[in-house]
Amino acid sequence: MMDPRIMWRRALNYVMLTLTGIAALGVVSVLFFILGYLIWNGGKSLNWNFFTQLPKPVGETGGGMANAILGSLKLLMLAALMGLPVGLLAGVYLAEFGGKTFSFVVRYTTDLLNGVPSIVIGIFAYSLVVLPVKHFSALAGGVALGIMVIPITVRSTEEFLKAVPGSLREGAMALGASKWKTIVTVVLPAAKAGILTGMLLALARVAGETAPLLFTAFGNRFWSPGFGQPTASLPVMIYTYAIAPYDDWHRQAWAAGLVLLGLVLVANLGARLLLNRGGAVRSV
């Protein structure tokens, strides 16, 4: 006859462990649910027009988000141009040159910047770029996104540079390479894969950001040539259309959501698979 207390403990064990499994599977199924729903709802509305046409005037049905797609690409390009070099070089500093206290301050500040809510960064870009000229612009949006790119890039650059074995550096220096030559000709190439995927992930992250664009790039129902005008972007369009009272706009918001999520997930998947498979040091 089994001690009832042991039976109780066994039952509790079984129940709790099952619950944890349910929890984990529940969380994962949310992901699949999101994907599925988006594919279902968004896929219905996705058509050639979506990618090629401009938005129609308010109230009319049809039209597309061509300008938003182009706008997002423009903003990403600006963010990459401004943020990636800063992140890369600062990462090189931390991994290769850094003194103890200064490096600590830089790392701490970078982590701080990483934790700043994206809307606050939007306020910052607003005060830097929009206020002085009193109009919204793609440049302001690019600045906001560029700032967000920096901490992610710094961290991954530093991490992958540090992963390059010291024996490689020693080998180069023993041949007479100066420190910077060693970095440029041996260390950076060895860490290339990791650093590039880090950059890709950073860009994928900011591609989906909406809040910092709300009052920097703002939005536009037409094309916005150059970088000095308010610019439409995919995330902001989704937001604008989703909260509007028009069914047709809701339909388009789903389509845009599918496109955006698709791009972000593909970039993330690709980057993570590359990282898991190749590792940091590859033959260049």
Partner 1 sequence: MPSVSEGSHATAARLAPKVPINETRSMASEKETPVRFQISDLNFFYGPKQAIFGLNLIIPVNKVTALIGPSGCGKSTFLRTLNRMNEIIRNTRVEGNILLDGQDIHGMDVVNLRRRVGMVFQRPNPFPKSIYENVAYGLRINGYKGRLDELVESSLHRAALWDEVKDYLHKSAFALSGGQQQRLCIARALAVNPEVLLLDEPCSALDPVTTAKIEELMFHLKDSCTMAIVTHNMQQAARASDFTAFMLDGKLIEHSETSKLFTTPKDPRTEAYITGRFG
Partner 2 sequence: MSAAATTIVNEVPPQAGPRAFLRRLRGGDEIAHLITLIFAAGIILLTSTLVWELWVNSHLSRAKFGWMFFFTKVWDPNFDNFGAAPFIYGTLVTSAVALVIAVPLGLASAIFLSELAPRKVSDVISFLIDLLAAVPSVIYGLLGIFIVVPVMRTIIGPALINTVGNVPYIGALFRGPNYGVGFLTAGIVLAIMVVPFIISVSREVLLTVPREQREAAMALGATRWESTWKVVVPWARTGIMGSVFLALARALGETMAVTMVIGNAPTIAASLLSPGDTIASTIASQFTEATGDLYLSSLIELGLVLFLITFILNGLARILIVTTERGGGRPA
Q: Is 101 in the site for partner 1 (CB under 8 A)?
A: no
Rg (CA), the chain: 24
Considering CB under 8 A, how many residues would be counted as binding partner 1? 22
Enter the tokens of residue 33.
């649910």
* CA 260/CA 235 separation, integer angstroms: 7
Long-range contacts of 103-108 (CB under 8 A, 24+ apart): none
The interface with partner 1 within residues 166-185 (CB under 8 A) comprises 167-178, 181, 185
* CA 123/CA 120 separation, integer angstroms: 5
Phi-psi region of 3 (alpha: psi -120 to 50; beta: other; left: phi over 0): beta
Q: Is 60 in the site for partner 1 (CB under 8 A)?
A: no
Token pair 């992250």 in the structure block, residue: 205
Shortest separation between residue 167's beta carbon and partner 2, angstroms = 20
Assign 63 to helix, strand or coil.
strand
Helix 138-162 × helix 100-115 angle, to 10°: 130
Shortest separation between residue 280's beta carbon and partner 1, angstroms = 10
Tell me what percent of the chain is helix, strand and coil, each rounded to the nearest 5: 75, 0, 20
Q: Is 284 in the site for partner 1 (CB under 8 A)?
A: yes
Q: Is 279 in the site for partner 1 (CB under 8 A)?
A: no
Q: Is 277 in the site for partner 1 (CB under 8 A)?
A: no
Q: Is 266 in the site for partner 1 (CB under 8 A)?
A: no
Shortest separation between residue 35's beta carbon and partner 2, angstroms = 9
Residue 177 site contact among partner 2, partner 1, none (CB < 5 to 8 Å, cut-off depends on kind): partner 1
Return the number of the residue (104 or 223) whose C-beta is nearest partner 1: 104
Residue 205 site contact among partner 1, partner 2, none (CB < 5 to 8 Å, cut-off depends on kind): partner 2
Contact set with partner 1 (CB under 8 A): 165, 167-178, 181, 185-186, 189-190, 281-284
